[in-house]
Each structure stands twice: as structure tokens, then as C-alpha cells.
């Protein structure tokens, strides 16, 4: 491709409305343009990257035995009513009526449609397992679309759905998808981690997210520093501290703590570490029929944070999690939230494993402006339950038993679920099993955010000059930058010949044939992030040489004209 015949559309200025680096660089590198909130046009450089990601995903899905289908983006409301999601989903699900006033949705995902297809096509256990996927445009009417294509309303996704009669079969396909995803991200050339994840609103039991590591990532991931263990911080188990709980030494005492409500204030006032204070949070309890709403006390160490997802899963706690109001707390205990504690309370007390390991600790006295010191479990608080309800912190023991946890940031680009029968049950999708009986299928689902990967790759691979593409998804593999070719026939001829040779060798090359100053060309090509560049200049040509530069390492070397193709091929083969 010649730049003069291409739509480069690079920008010198950083657009004001872009918050994250990938969004800024995608705009500046001429990859995308905003059409409307959360809606982006992919310009040529953007499409080239997008199509490469798409093709790698397709090839690895095919290799893993998944079969490609293509479902409509517009889906009839009836199927969503059948699954219950027509009512359950909020305004993210874009609903509209057609010319005949029939209701439809713009598909944010395709569980309903694929389950409908499979219940019609598949009648026997002999046709299972089956894993169907598509690569297709999705729409989610985000309340606040942001970060460019990272959280757009219209986006490209690979979604796969598998169907089974047994957990073993589901596990096999799940494992195959796990491997396929590793292959995909390896081939894409990205630093990623599969992590244990919460199954959230989609439902199901087992789930892994695939994260591209980047300091700008929205999600926090906990890793073991010595094993393969990795989990979304929402999911990472916080173990009890090692060893037995220390014995109680101090006796219980009430102490005035005027104007000290927060853990930090109490710690400063009493000269104790935050880790020796237990903080008590009150949340609404699971409703019991015929009874007034009541509360549950959650007790954590002062230096720990509540993990709301873990708390919400407790049978005692109402879902979704709902914090008690100041009025509810005062009605229960006669004190404000800054002075409450678990001693003598008349509601269920759930204690985090680390807090349960404390002895001689400090809690609120359930009396405004007072705390209790020398508090001890069992002696002072007898009726409580221990559970894992906190977020892990760096340095915690890894739940796998090996090493300590470290925390990194990641961008979720893939997610695999063991769905169970949520959709197959709702849509009555069953087959005849080996015994000739009708049996509801169990399902897995497997998503990759194709357009999101493009942004995540940039978050992970950039410097102050622009994008640094991994070879596999670079818009072009090589760029030819001739110095003043419009004034030098010799430069023009040498570049034309290299261009022809590279093209003939099947290398994707951009030939920057613009009448621009070298500085402008260098800046544009660094911004776009083409991994390998060849500069053709007068002086080097005297020795039949051109200058190679690696975008990532910055390494430069002179190549003899006769060796350019072979050298580039060896770089690209890596």
C-alpha cells in the first residue's frame, strides 16, 4: 500500500475528549473516528488490525473444534421473554418495534437465539457435544460509553456456546476453550493471564476471565508470586492467617473516643495499629417472610476492605447487597456508625477470617463517642460465624498454598463460563439421551471482545511516540521510508524496487511515498506503530545499504539491499 493512495488520517494533537491512552492513540493514529456516543467508524488502519485479530480468533476457534455460524443482530422479543431477560435487563438492552409494531432487541449477546437454534436442530445425544460460535457486531446501550472502543455501544465480539448432556463433557469443551484462548492471546503477542472469575449476571458456576495486563486496566487481579494461581480480586480467596489465634490477655474496657469515628482516627487516638481494630459494617439481611427487614453485622480488620461480592453470596445477606442506613443502625444499637461494634448485638454477626484471628482488639461500644478495648472472641462475643468476606491485599498468602499474592491491573478481553442449564431450562432445550429419555442440555459460553483486544493491545504496547504493535496484529508489517524520493530518482527507484520485492514476498508493506519532510514521516510511522521500518537514504545507498529500525527495541542496523527480504522474513518469523 502506498501512503498517497491510503487514508492515513493521523492527528498531531491529542483529542481533548479521550481519557485513556488507547483511545487517544487510536484517534491520533487514524484508526477510529467517533460517529456518536459509543459509536465508532474504523478507518483503514483500524480495520486492518481488527481483521487480523478476528482472523486469529477464527482460526483458533476452528482448530479447537468450534463451528462458525452467524446469527442476526436483530432478535425477536419473544425469545427474551421466554428466557426472562426481557424483564430482567435494564436499558442496556436496546428494545425497539419494527414497522408492524412487533418488539425486537439489538443483540448484546446471543444465548437465547443459539439455544433456540439448537433446540430445533439437535434431537439426540449422538449430536452432542456441539460448540457453535460467531464473530459478529453486538450492541449494548451503555449508560456512559467511554474509553473509545474499550467500552463502546456497538462492538465486535466472538461469542461461542456449547451444549452437553454431562458435566464431564462441558468440562472437556471448557478446557478446550481455555486452551484455545491461551493460543489466541499467545498468537496475538499479548501479555495476558487467565484468572478465576465471578460468574455475575450471566449465571453459572465455573468461570475464567482472560486479562491483558496493563497498568491502566479497569480490573485488579491477584497472582501468586510463585504458582500459576490468578484470580479476579473479586474472587480471590483470603485465607485465615497462619497459626492459632493468640490467647486473650487484656480485659474488656470502655474508653471514650470523642470525635474519633473512622478506623484511622481511632487508631491515632488509641495509639494502636489499624490491624488491631475491628470495624463493623451493617447490611440488610435476607428477607424472611412475614418479618420486618433486619440487619447483619459484618466484622473486618480495620486495615481490610469488605468484598461485596463475597458478602452478597452469604445466605444471611440480602442480594443485591444493601448497606444499612444511619437510621437503621441507630434504631438497632442506639449509636452512630462510627461507634458500633459486635459486642452484645442482637443480629447475626459474620466475622472475616482475619478479624476472627484477633485477640485483645478494639471495637465500637455501641455508644456514641466510645469504643471497647481488650475485646476477645468467644469470651466477649459468643454468637458469630466466620467467613471470607474481604478483598485480598498484596502480601496475603496465596489461596493455592504457594507463595504470596501480588496485585496487577488487567483489561478483560475474554470470558469463559460454565453456564449450566439457565437458558436451556428456560427454553426447554433438551434431547433424547442414551436411555431414550428427554434431558435438558447443559451449556457453556465463551466470549472474546475482538474490538476490545485492539484497545487493550495498545494499552499494553505503547510509548511516548505512539503504538508498538505486536507483529501478528500490526496494520502493516513493514514500512518503507524513502528520504526525499521526490527529488532523487535513485531513492525513488531503490524504494520502488524494494516495495515490489517485499510485496512479492507476501510481506505487508506500507510505502510512504508522500511529499513530506522525513520528520513528519518518522513521526507518523512511530505513531501508527509499524514494527519494522526501512529508511532509504542517499549515503547508505552508496554502499547498497538501507537502515532497518525496530519500533519496539529502537535497535537500528544497516542491511545490504540483497539481504533486506531475508532479514525481514527472519524477524517476522519470530
Q: How far is the CB of 72 from its own copies (least distance, A)?
A: 4
For residues 370 and 293, the answer to whether their CB atoms sit within 8 Å is: no
Q: Which is nearer to its own copies, 450 or 572 (CB)?
A: 450
Q: Judged by CB under 8 A, does residue 106 bind its own copies?
A: yes
Using CB under 8 A, which of the segments 16-24, 126-134, 241-249, 370-378 binds its own copies? 126-134
Q: How far is the CB of 383 from its own copies (least distance, A)?
A: 47
3-state secondary structure 318-360: CCCCCECCHHHHHHHHCCCHHHCCCCCCCCCEEEECCHHHCCC
Q: What is the DSSP string of 495-540?
A: HHHHHHHHHHTT--EEE---S--HHHHHHHHHHHT-SEEEEE-HHH
List 18, 57, 61, 132, residue binding its own copies (CB under 8 A): 132
120 binds its own copies (CB under 8 A): yes
Provide, rounded to whole angstroms, the least separation between the CB of residue 73 and its own copies.
6
CB 489, CB 536: distance < 8 Å? no
Using the contact rule CB under 8 A, the part of the chain among 101-109, 301-309, 368-376, 525-533 near its own copies is 101-109
Torsion of CA 163, 168, 173, 175, to 10 degrees: 150
Quick check: 375 and 361 in contact, CB under 8 A? Answer: yes
Does the footprint of its own copies cover residue 500 (CB under 8 A)? Answer: no
Residue 129 or 194 having the CB closest to its own copies: 129
137-196 residues near its own copies, rule: CB under 8 A: 137, 139, 141, 143, 153-154
Cell 456497538 maps to which residue?
154
Rounded to a whole number of angstroms, the minimum distance from the CB of residue 428 to its own copies is 18
Nearer to its own copies, 90 or 327 (CB): 90
CB 88, min distance to its own copies, A: 16
Number of residues near its own copies (by CB under 8 A): 55
Residue 95 CB, nearest distance to its own copies (Å)?
A: 8
- Coil vs helix vs strand at 248: coil
Select from 163, 215, 161 the least CA-distant residue to 411: 215
Min dist CB 355 to its own copies, Å, is: 42
First-to-last C-alpha distance (Å) of the chain: 24
Pick the closest to residue 422 from 206, 202, 163 (CA basis).
202
Of 23, 24, 28, 48, which lies in the binding site for its own copies, with binding defined by CB under 8 A? Answer: 48
- Check binding of 450 to its own copies (CB under 8 A): no
CA distances in angstroms from 383 to 127, 253, 296, 380, listed in the order given = 54, 20, 12, 9
Nearer CB in complex with its own copies: 106/214: 106
Q: Rounded CA gap, 167 and 425, in Å?
A: 15
Please state the closest distance from residue 145 (CB atom) to its own copies, in A.
Answer: 10
Q: Which of residues 102 and 428 has its CB atom nearest to its own copies in the complex?
A: 102
Contact pick of 113, 184, 197, 266 for its own copies (by CB under 8 A): 113
Residue reference for cell 512511530 = 526
> Can residue 507 be called a binding residue for its own copies (CB under 8 A)?
no
Least distance CB 523 / its own copies (angstroms): 18
Does residue 505 touch its own copies according to CB under 8 A?
no
Maximum separation of any 2 CA atoms in the chain, in Å? 94
Residue 204 Cβ vs its own copies, minimum distance, rounded to whole Å: 23
Nearest to 475 by CA among 509, 521, 452: 509
* Cα dist from 540 to 56, 499, 513, 544, whole Å: 38, 17, 19, 6
Cell of 342: 459486635
Query: Which residues, 57 to 96, sit near its own copies by CB under 8 A?
Result: 65, 67-76, 91-92, 94, 96
Crossing angle of helices 489-504 and 564-573, rounded to 10°: 40
Among 17, 19, 121, 228, binds its own copies (CB under 8 A): 121
Q: Is 153 or 390 the residue whose CB approaches its own copies more closely?
A: 153
**Binding letters toward its own copies, positions 5-44, x by CB under 8 A:** xxx-x-----------------------x-xx--xxxxxx
Cβ atoms of 501 and 451 closer than 8 Å: no
- 116 or 388: CB nearest its own copies: 116
Considering the complex, what minimum distance in angstroms separates the CB of residue 328 from its own copies? 32
Nearer to its own copies, 223 or 511 (CB): 511
Q: Which is nearer to its own copies, 219 or 508 (CB)?
A: 508
DSSP 1-67: -BGGGS-----SSPPTT--SHHHHHHHHTTSEEEEETTEEEEPHHHHHHHHHHHHHHHHHHHHTT-E
Shorter beta-carbon distance to its own copies: residue 409 or 514: 514
Q: State which residue, 47 or 386, has the beta carbon closest to its own copies.
A: 47
13 vs 244 by CB, closer to its own copies:
13
Phi, psi of 488 (to 5 degrees): -125, 110
Among 25, 57, 89, 130, binds its own copies (CB under 8 A): 130
Q: Which is nearer to its own copies, 49 or 397 (CB)?
A: 49
Question: With contact defined as beta carbons under 8 Å apart, do 316 and 260 qualify?
Answer: no
For residues 375 and 362, is the Cβ–Cβ distance under 8 A? yes
Nearer to its own copies, 338 or 430 (CB): 430
Q: What angle separates helix 44-63 from helix 450-460, to the nearest 10 degrees?
A: 110
Q: Which residues bind its own copies (CB under 8 A)?
A: 5-7, 9, 33, 35-36, 39-44, 46-48, 50-51, 65, 67-76, 91-92, 94, 96-99, 102, 104, 106, 113, 116-117, 120-121, 127, 130, 132, 134, 136-137, 139, 141, 143, 153-154
Amino acid at each position: 500500500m502506498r501512503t498517497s493512495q491510503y487514508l492515513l488520517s493521523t492527528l498531531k494533537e491529542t483529542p481533548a475528549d479521550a481519557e485513556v491512552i488507547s483511545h487517544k492513540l487510536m484517534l491520533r493514529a487514524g484508526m477510529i473516528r467517533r460517529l456518536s456516543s459509543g459509536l465508532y467508524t474504523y478507518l483503514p488502519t483500524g480495520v486492518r488490525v481488527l481483521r487480523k485479530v478476528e482472523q486469529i480468533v477464527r482460526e483458533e476457534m476452528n482448530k479447537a473444534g468450534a463451528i462458525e455460524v452467524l446469527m442476526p443482530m436483530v432478535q425477536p422479543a419473544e425469545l427474551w421473554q421466554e428466557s426472562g431477560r426481557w424483564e430482567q435487563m435494564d436499558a442496556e438492552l436496546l428494545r425497539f418495534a419494527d414497522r408492524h409494531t412487533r418488539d425486537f432487541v439489538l443483540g448484546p449477546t446471543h444465548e437465547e437465539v443459539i439455544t433456540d437454534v439448537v433446540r430445533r436442530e439437535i434431537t439426540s445425544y449422538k449430536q452432542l457435544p456441539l460448540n457453535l460460535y460467531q464473530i459478529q457486531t453486538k450492541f449494548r446501550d451503555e449508560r456512559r460509553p467511554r474509553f473509545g472502543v474499550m467500552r463502546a455501544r456497538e462492538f465486535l465480539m466472538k461469542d461461542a456456546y456449547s451444549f452437553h448432556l454431562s458435566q464431564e463433557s462441558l468440562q472437556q469443551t471448557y478446557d478446550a476453550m481455555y486452551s484455545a484462548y491461551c493460543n489466541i492471546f499467545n498468537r496475538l503477542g499479548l501479555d495476558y493471564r487467565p484468572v478465576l472469575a465471578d460468574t455475575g449476571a450471566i449465571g453459572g458456576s465455573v468461570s475464567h476471565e482472560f486479562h491483558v495486563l496493563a497498568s491502566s486496566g479497569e480490573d485488579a487481579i491477584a497472582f501468586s508470586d510463585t504458582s500459576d494461581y490468578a484470580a479476579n480480586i473479586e474472587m480471590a480467596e483470603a485465607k485465615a492467617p497462619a497459626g492459632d489465634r493468640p490467647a486473650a490477655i487484656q480485659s474488656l474496657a470502655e474508653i471514650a473516643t470523642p470525635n474519633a469515628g473512622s478506623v484511622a482516627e481511632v487508631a491515632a487516638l488509641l495509639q494502636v495499629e489499624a490491624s488491631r481494630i475491628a470495624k463493623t459494617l451493617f447490611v440488610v439481611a435476607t428477607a424472611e417472610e412475614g418479618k420486618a427487614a433486619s440487619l447483619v453485622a459484618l466484622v473486618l480488620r480495620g486495615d481490610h476492605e469488605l468484598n461485596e461480592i463475597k458478602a452478597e453470596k452469604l445466605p444471611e445477606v440480602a442480594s443485591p447487597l444493601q448497606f444499612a442506613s444511619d437510621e437503621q443502625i441507630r434504631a438497632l444499637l442506639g449509636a452512630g456508625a462510627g461507634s458500633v461494634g459486635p459486642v452484645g448485638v442482637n443480629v447475626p454477626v459474620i466475622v472475616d477470617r482475619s478479624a476472627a484471628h484477633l485477640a485483645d482488639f478494639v471495637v465500637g461500644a455501641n455508644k456514641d463517642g466510645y469504643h471497647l478495648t481488650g475485646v476477645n472472641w468467644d469470651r466477649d462475643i459468643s454468637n458469630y460465624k466466620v467467613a471470607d468476606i474481604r478483598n485480598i491485599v498484596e502480601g496475603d498468602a496465596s489461596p493455592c498454598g504457594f507463595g504470596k499474592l501480588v496485585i496487577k491491573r488487567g483489561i478483560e478481553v475474554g470470558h469463559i463460563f460454565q453456564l449450566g442449564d439457565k437458558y436451556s431450562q428456560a427454553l426447554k432445550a433438551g434431547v433424547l439421551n442414551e436411555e431414550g429419555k428427554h434431558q435438558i442440555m447443559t451449556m457453556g459460553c465463551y466470549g472474546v471482545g475482538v474490538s476490545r483486544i485492539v484497545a487493550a493491545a495498545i494499552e499494553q504496547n505503547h510509548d511516548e511516540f505512539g503504538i508498538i504493535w505486536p507483529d501478528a496484529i500490526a496494520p502493516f508489517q513493514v514500512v518503507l521510508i524513502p528520504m526525499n524520493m521526490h527529488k532523487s530518482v535513485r531513492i525513488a527507484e531503490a524504494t520502488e524496487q524494494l516495495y515490489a520485492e517485499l510485496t512479492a514476498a507476501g510481506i505487508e508493506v506500507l510505502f510512504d511515498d508522500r511529499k513530506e519532510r522525513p520528520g513528519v514521516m518518522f513521526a507518523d510511522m512511530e505513531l501508527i506503530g509499524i514494527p519494522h521500518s526501512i529508511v532509504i537514504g542517499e549515503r547508505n545507498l552508496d554502499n547498497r545499504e538501507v537502515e532497518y529500525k525496530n519500533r519496539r527495541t529502537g535497535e537500528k542496523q544497516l542491511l545490504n539491499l540483497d539481504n533486506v527480504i531475508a532479514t525481514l522474513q527472519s524477524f517476522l518469523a519470530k
